[in-house]
Chains A and B, each alone.
Chain A
Amino acid sequence: GAVVSQHPSRVICKSGTSVKIECRSLDFQATTMFWYRQFPKKSLMLMATSNEGSKATYEQGVEKDKFLINHASLTLSTLTVTSAHPEDSSFYICSARDDIVGSYEQYFGPGTRLTVT
C-alpha cells in the first residue's frame, strides 16, 4: 500500500532555531501534499497545501514566513519551522494524495513531534 514517511520522528530544538521536517511518498508520486498540526484535544488543523513546482497554499492564520514549505519533487515536501518558539511545539503530520489513483483519500505520514525548549 501507499506509504508516507516523515523525518525526523522526534526533534527537540532551542528557541530561535529553525527545524526542517521532511515528508516523502515512498511508492507513489504526489503532486499534492498536505501539512497538518495537531493540538492536544483538538482536531487536525490543516496548515497548508503543498504543490509540486509551485508555491504552497496556506490556510488562514498560518504564517507563511514562519512555516516554509518546499515541494521540490513529486515525492518530497519539506516544512521548515523558522525561529521556533515554545508555542510551536506540536505534532506535525503530512499527508499525500496518490496522483495515479487520484482518489480523495490521503495517505498520512507517522508524524513528527517537535519540542521547542
Chain B
Amino acid sequence: DQQVKQNSPSLSVQEGRISILNCDYTNSMFDYFLWYKKYPAEGPTFLISISSIKDKNEDGRFTVFLNKSAKHLSLHIVPSQPGDSAVYFCAASVGDDKIIFGKGTRLHILP
C-alpha cells in the first residue's frame, strides 16, 4: 500500500517557466511533509517542508502548498532553472516517526 504517491514519473518544463510537482497521500495521520531533490548517484537533499497546520510555505523560488482536505501537496518552482533538473521526492511523516517517500518525479528543464 503506497501511502505517498507521485503519479507523474517525469515532467518537462521550459526554462524560466513554473514547474509544478504534485503529490498525493492516503494517511490522514501524516503531519509533516517534505520535498527532497536528488541527482543521480547522490543522496537526496532536503528542499522544503511544511507542517500540517499550514497550507503554504515559501523559500526563495520554492513554494509548497498543502491541501489537507484533498490529501494533496504540490511543489512550485519559479522560475525554473537548468540546475533544477533532478528527481524530486515527496515525503511524509507522522510526528518524528520514519519518513515515507513517494516514487519520485524526474524534472527536465528545457533550454
Assuming the A-B contacts A104-B93, A105-B34, are A44 and B49 also in contact, with contact meaning beta carbons closer than 8 angstroms in the complex?
Answer: no
Query: When chains A and B are docked, how far (Å) is the Cα of A49 from the Cα of B102?
Result: 18
Most-contacted residue by chain A among B4, B93, B99 (CB, 10 A): B99
**Which residues of chain A are within 8 angstroms of B25 by Cβ–Cβ distance?**
none
**Which residues of chain B are within 8 angstroms of A91 by Cβ–Cβ distance?**
41
Binding site of B, secondary structure by majority: helix, strand, loop or mixed?
A: strand
Residues of chain B in range 60-111 having any CB-CB distance to chain A below 8 Å: 89, 93, 96, 98-104
Judging by beta carbons under 8 Å apart, are B41 and A43 in contact? no
Query: When chains A and B are docked, how far (Å) is the Cα of A77 from the Cα of B89?
Result: 24
**Which residues of chain A are within 8 angstroms of B100 by Cβ–Cβ distance?**
46
Assuming the A-B contacts A104-B32, A105-B46, A105-B49, are A113 and B101 also in contact, with contact meaning beta carbons closer than 8 angstroms in the complex?
Answer: no
- Judged by a CB distance under 8 angstroms, whether A67 is at the interface is no
Judging by beta carbons under 8 Å apart, are A109 and B43 in contact? yes
Smallest Cβ-Cβ distance to A9: which chain B residue = B41
Residues of chain B in range 1-19 having any CB-CB distance to chain A below 8 Å: 4, 9
Judging by beta carbons under 8 Å apart, are A43 and B101 in contact? yes
Judging by beta carbons under 8 Å apart, are B103 and A42 in contact? yes
Smallest Cβ-Cβ distance to B103: which chain A residue = A43
Residues of chain B in range 23-72 having any CB-CB distance to chain A below 8 Å: 32, 34, 36, 41-46, 49
Candidates A4, A102, A104, A111; contact of B41 at CB < 8 Å: A111
Additional 5 contacts, C-beta under 8 A, given A43-B101, A111-B43: A46-B99, A93-B44, A104-B93, A104-B96, A105-B49
CB<8 Å pairs between A and B, sample of 27: A4-B43, A34-B98, A41-B9, A43-B4, A43-B89, A43-B101, A43-B103, A43-B104, A44-B89, A44-B101, A46-B98, A46-B101, A49-B98, A91-B41, A95-B43, A102-B96, A104-B32, A104-B49, A105-B46, A107-B46, A108-B36, A108-B43, A108-B45, A108-B46, A110-B42, A111-B42, A111-B43
* Residues in chain A within 8 A of chain B (CB atoms): 4, 6, 34, 41-44, 46, 49, 91, 93, 95, 97, 102, 104-111, 113
Q: Which 7 A-B pairs have the closest CB atoms?
A: A108-B43, A43-B103, A44-B101, A43-B101, A104-B32, A111-B43, A110-B43
